[in-house]
Structure 1
Amino acid sequence: MIFIVVKWTPKPEHVEDFPNLVADFTKATRAEAGNLFFEWSRSLENPAEYVLVEGFRDGDAGGEHVNSEHFKAFTAAAPSFLASTPEIISQAIDADGWGEMGEITV
């Protein structure tokens, strides 16, 4: 799996409406055959920052994602509502999705 975490900082005037600005991109990405998950969260420590956790089946699926029309349209539009360049961690890992945490059993 390709596991990706991206930190996003919208411009102050777009912090509250950021989920709406990424909604179409999110929906289109989740519909991709190789997408395993695409989940947005808001930072508890910095409410002006959003965190995106992504999973793609493999490198081919990740490549299809970055070459998709919705990705190209989103990356072209994003600078108009972002305060800074997003920060990213992207790694191939030996997993195919989420597993249960071993340290806590419920």
Structure 2
Amino acid sequence: MIFIVVKFPVKPEYVDAWPDKVAPFTRATRAEPGNLWFEWSRSLEEPNTYVLVEAFQDDAAEAHVTSEHFSAALKTMRPMVTRTPEIVSTTIEGATGWSRMGELQIDQTPPG
């Protein structure tokens, strides 16, 4: 699995509009074969920063970055960010999705 986290530092005048501006990119990416997830969050410490957490099957990342919607999204985002986004991109061998957190197990069995 290819796991990616990107921090987008958004100009204050665009921060509220960001989710709507990137919505076409989000929808298109989620529909890609091999996309496992594509989720946006907003930083609590830096309210003008959006954090994107995404994952792809190993063979799907190249198709993503060469897609028309990826290219269009870069053009949309470029004037709205204050600097080059920061990224962590890595391959996690053998992973296919989320795992349960071992340190905080919650019993989901209904009482009875």
Fold-level similarity (TM above 0.5): yes
Give the structure with higher Rg (CA): 2
1:49 paired to 2:49: yes
3-state DSSP class of the match of 1:33? coil
Say whether residues 1:73 and 2:72 are aligned partners: yes
Q: Which of structure 1's runs of 4+ aligned residues deviate more than 2 A?
A: none
| 1:40 is the counterpart of 2:2 | no
Give CA-to-partner distance per residue, 1:14-68, whole Å, 9 cap, x none. 011111111110000000011000000001111111100000011x200000011
In structure 1, stretches of 5+ residues that fail to align are: none
TM-score by length of 2: 0.91
Per the TM alignment, residue 83 of structure 1 is displaced from its structure 2 partner at its CA by 1.2
Does the alignment pair 1:88 with 2:87? yes
Unaligned stretches of 5+ in structure 2?
A: 107-112
Q: How many residues align?
A: 105
How many percent identity over aligned positions?
Answer: 58
Structure 2 CA distance, aligned partners of 1:20 and 1:76? Answer: 15
Q: Which amino acid aligns with 1:5?
A: V
Q: Which residue pairs with 2:27 in the alignment?
A: 27
